[in-house]
Amino acid sequence: MLDQNQRPSPISPTIDLDARGVQHGFLRLPHSRDDSAWGSVMIPIAMIRNGSGPTALLTGGNHGDEYEGPLALYELARTLDPADVSGTVIIVPALNYPAFRAGTRTSPIDKGNMNRSFPGAPDGTVTQKIADYVQRHLLPRADIVLDFHSGGRTLDFVPFCAAHILPDKAQEARAFAAVEAFAAPYSVKMLEIDAVGMFDTAVEEMGKVFVTTELGGGGTARAETVRIARKGVMNVLRHTGIVAGAVERTPTSWLDMPDGDCFSFAEDDGMIETIVDLGERVQRGVVVARIHGTGRTGIAPIEIKAKMDGILAARHFPGLVKAGDCAAVVAVPQG
């Protein structure tokens, strides 16, 4: 593994990562393919550096069908005045850029799920090459990483900001403080069970602060969720001292997702009916969703029940569902 990683990244930035001021450019990744023998993937990147201070790496489009992050970050890259910055803001608004351009969760080139591709590989797939560049060239520069997610085309979430429960409690506290600063309607303490390949893990293993979000979903963005994203990113920059001024605090409700019983999975194909809407209370044992067979009329639907008390925090989005899909997620309000 080490030998492999010592191979240089094929990606070359068109901006100078050590320069000051505002720069707009690309991470250029050569990508030879049938429709372009000497083609490249051009991943937009912006950097705003001024004075001295910490470095924030802000990423959107880790999954290509989630829009609150890109909407906040393209705007921030365009409008953030370096005079207001003390430190460095690196913005990659569409991290899995091929996926983002296609409007799909994973890359159309290699089906790569960016958030399962870390630490990446310089001679791997396109997605792994991007991950490797982030791992070896951007993360070492960062003090804090804010990685935007939403539910994408197939899930919908109540809007929340989140960080992981970590073995290093000081690191964890710094992360939860940043979540608190983000000030989304909900805030979540996540216990990661399967952390293999995640961007989160890559950052946390370096001892840095990692903050993430789920700000809606369905492959769209609402005006409200975009406002949450924009306020949140500015709040985090203020919280770190990169941007001056007080964090704009608004109330947030803390949620737990204690174990696997939060998740209800479909065991059948069909048309899904969610019985409660996002944010509504559910009780253990109530039906939260039903799956209707559609091949003929007159057939009773299959019921999916909540396995704990809480609120409906996420749900399957498309009208059709397949066996194995996550139908509903219940989270437990704290305090």
Q: Report 282-301 residues binding a copy of itself (CB under 8 A).
A: 292, 294-301
Tell me, residue by residue from 84 to 123, as one string, x for binding to a copy of itself by CB under 8 A and - for no binding. Answer: -------x-xx-----xx-xxxx----x-x--x------x
| Binding residues for a copy of itself restricted to 207-236, rule: CB under 8 A | 218-224, 226
Quick one: which H or E segment has residue 68? helix 68-79
- Considering the complex, state which of residue 75 and residue 143 has its C-beta at the smaller distance from a copy of itself: 75
Tell me, residue by residue from 185 to 204, as one string, x for binding to a copy of itself by CB under 8 A and - for no binding. Answer: ---------x-xx-------
Q: Which of 132, 325, 330, 331 binds a copy of itself (CB under 8 A)?
A: 325
| Binding residues for a copy of itself restricted to 246-275, rule: CB under 8 A | 263, 265, 267-269, 271, 273-275
Q: Which of 63, 129, 164, 189 binds a copy of itself (CB under 8 A)?
A: 63
The tokens describing 166, both together, are 């970590």
- Considering the complex, state which of residue 199 and residue 317 has its C-beta at the smaller distance from a copy of itself: 317
CA torsion sign, 233 to 236 to 241 to 245?
positive
Point out which span in 139-147, 148-156, 231-239, 247-255 binds a copy of itself (CB under 8 A): 148-156
Beta-strand relationship, 160-164 and 55-59 = unpaired
Distance, in Å, from the CA atom of 75 to the CA atom of 69, rounded to the nearest integer, reads 10
Distance, in Å, from the CA atom of 319 to the CA atom of 291, rounded to the nearest integer, reads 10
Residue 139 Cα to chain centre, angstroms: 16
* 3-state secondary structure at position 330: strand
CB 191 → a copy of itself: shortest distance, Å?
16
> Which residue type, as a one-letter code, is found at position 295?
G
Tell me, residue by residue from 163 to 182, as one string, x for binding to a copy of itself by CB under 8 A and - for no binding. Answer: --------------------
CA torsion sign, 90 to 93 to 243 to 236?
negative
- Answer for the pair 221, 67: CB distance below 8 angstroms, yes or no: yes
**How many residues form the binding site for a copy of itself (CB under 8 A)?**
94
Identify each DSSP E strand in the chain by its residue range. Answer: 12-13, 21-30, 40-50, 55-59, 87-92, 144-147, 155-157, 160-164, 186-190, 209-214, 253-257, 263-265, 270-274, 281-282, 287-292, 302-305, 310-316, 320-321, 326-333
Point out which span in 131-139, 145-153, 202-210, 240-248 binds a copy of itself (CB under 8 A): 145-153
Point out which span in 32-40, 162-170, 183-191, 250-258 binds a copy of itself (CB under 8 A): 32-40
CB 242 → a copy of itself: shortest distance, Å?
18
Q: Does position 5 bind a copy of itself by CB under 8 A?
A: no
